[in-house]
Amino acid sequence: MTTTVARDTIRAPQRAGDRVFSTATVVAGSLILAVLAAVAAFLLLQSLPAFVATPADFNGDAANFWAYVWPLAFGTLWSALLALLIAIPLAIGIALFISHYAPRKLAQGLGYIIDLLAAVPSVVFGLWGIGVLAPLLQPFYTSLVEWFGWIPLFAGPVSGTGRTILTVSIVLAVMVLPIITAICREIFLQTPVLYEEASLALGATRWEMIAMAVLPFGRSGIISASMLGLGRALGETMAVAMVLSPSPQVIFALLTSQNPTTIAANIALNFPEAHGTGVNILLATGLVLFVITLAVNMVARVIINRRKAFSGAN
């Protein structure tokens, strides 16, 4: 008995490779937290003058910082939400087609094409939005206003160039599509074959099997993918700055020439000419964007933790 206890209490010596790997992982994880804390501290310290700035520092457009940043925060959230409403159904549909419907060769080729979208620079998406998408959609926007102008979202007058918040949202949806699609595809492929075969054996059709087995299994993964896409949409700069004509106001209409702008686009457009307190004001808006992104990720994590008991994706 004594010998057994003694053997159990003796630990095998840790190899040098294990110690190096363990230390490296701890350092890497701590470095991420340190960089995040440093960014937050820098933004907070540089933003303090903006909170006490006078109306003259805002060029007469706002009485205080919160009146200045509110339309920008609204435009950021509004465009990102519209982009997700467009991208999530498309991404789930494409991921399901690749994982459960398409032949293997077609699925591989389509997967590569979708993944390649993530390598396209945002400035290219901006040029595509200006030169191709906006002129293409402008006649359709005119028809939408004629048909559904009684709905506030589609109220006129319609933009003559097609460069609207809806166009920007479509561009953002295309930009976040590969992120959401790739994660959803991998999650759907990890669905236990036993679940799928059991559903089919009970007489379910392929769609019923997907609805009963695949989608519930991947629910947490879909939420995670959507939040990653939302983070990309919230921070996108060049595409929004190139397509939209800035108008710092709260506007829900999707098809007019006056559109809300985003925090990131506002910083990119105004930072080269900013000086003095103007720089602090722009950095303060960056702090607001930082807080919004952090809050979105925290909410997503809470949702995933509440649903993980009903999903095998974690």
Domains of the chain, earliest start first: 19-306 (1.10.3720.10)
CA 224 to chain CA centroid, Å, is 10
* pLDDT, tens only, 195-223: 888 888 888 888 888 888 888 888 888 88
152 DSSP 8-state letter: G
Residue 314: the pLDDT is: 43
Position 89 scores a pLDDT of 92
Q: Which of 306, 300, 265, 301 is nearest to 286 (CA)?
A: 265
User: Of the ranges 88-102, 110-124, 141-155, 250-264, which is most confident?
Assistant: 88-102
pLDDT bin (cut points 50, 70, 90) of residue 12 is: low
Mean pLDDT of 107-130: 84
pLDDT band at residue 310 under the 50/70/90 scheme: very low
Per-residue pLDDT tens digits for 60-82:
667 788 888 888 889 888 988 99
The pLDDT of 226-230, averaged and rounded, is 86
Alpha helix ranges (H) inside 97-164: 104-116, 122-128, 134-148
pLDDT at 313 over 50: no
Instruction: Select the more confidently predicted residue: 179 or 236.
Output: 179
Distances (CA, A) of 136 to 30, 68, 128, 130: 49, 34, 11, 10
Give me the pLDDT at residue 248, please.
Answer: 74
Report the sign of the C-alpha dihedral through residues 117, 121, 122, 126, in that order: negative
pTM for this entry: 0.83
- Given a cut of 60, whether residue 1 has pLDDT beyond it is no
**pLDDT tens digits, 78-115:** 988 999 999 999 999 999 998 888 888 888 888 888 88
CA 36 – CA 56 distance, rounded (Å):
33
Please give the structure tokens belonging to residue 61. Answer: 């457009």
- The confidence score (pLDDT) of residue 148 equals 83
